[in-house]
Amino acid sequence: QGQLVESGGGSVQAGGSLTLSCTASGTAYSLISQCMGWFRQTPVMEREGVASINRNYDTYYADSVKGRFTISSDNAKNTLSLRMDSLKPEDTGMYYCAPAGPNAYCYYPVAARADFGDWGQGTQVTVSS
């Protein structure tokens, strides 16, 4: 059906920047037909929707990252990116890309598609103070 592979994580100091990438293969994760997003999780926090984007490049963000993170996509290459600026220690977590919402349209708040369970390995982001 498809695969999601995240990359680009790392360790940075507060105030630093990172850009995450997600490569989506298979028709199940086509940006043309599916809103896609970024999610993050820590050992003490449930998975949180961070940002989403649809084929028209409409974007949605969690309040906690608005103004600091920028989601983008390349529909032709079926790739998703998340530029993270002004990073804070509370941004630390494992970041995943996944379908966000039931169809091609994105909604607020950012939430994973209800039937999705094929999470990738994720990419770790660690922000030190």
Task: Please determine, for residue 26, whether its predicted confidence score (pLDDT) is greater than 80.
Answer: no
* Band of residue 90 on the pLDDT scale cut at 50, 70, 90: very high
Task: Please determine, for residue 1, whether its predicted confidence score (pLDDT) is greater than 80.
Answer: no
CA 54 to chain centre: 12
- Mean pLDDT of the region 94-105: 92
Task: Please determine, for residue 28, whether its predicted confidence score (pLDDT) is greater than 80.
Answer: no
Q: Could you read off the pLDDT of 40-88 as tens digits, one per residue?
A: 998 888 999 999 999 899 999 999 999 999 999 998 888 999 999 999 9
> In angstroms, rounded to a whole number, what is the distance separating the alpha carbons of residues 55 and 110?
16
> In angstroms, rounded to a whole number, what is the distance separating the alpha carbons of residues 103 and 116?
12
CA 59 to chain centre: 11
> In angstroms, rounded to a whole number, what is the distance separating the alpha carbons of residues 39 and 103?
17
pLDDT for 52 equals: 97
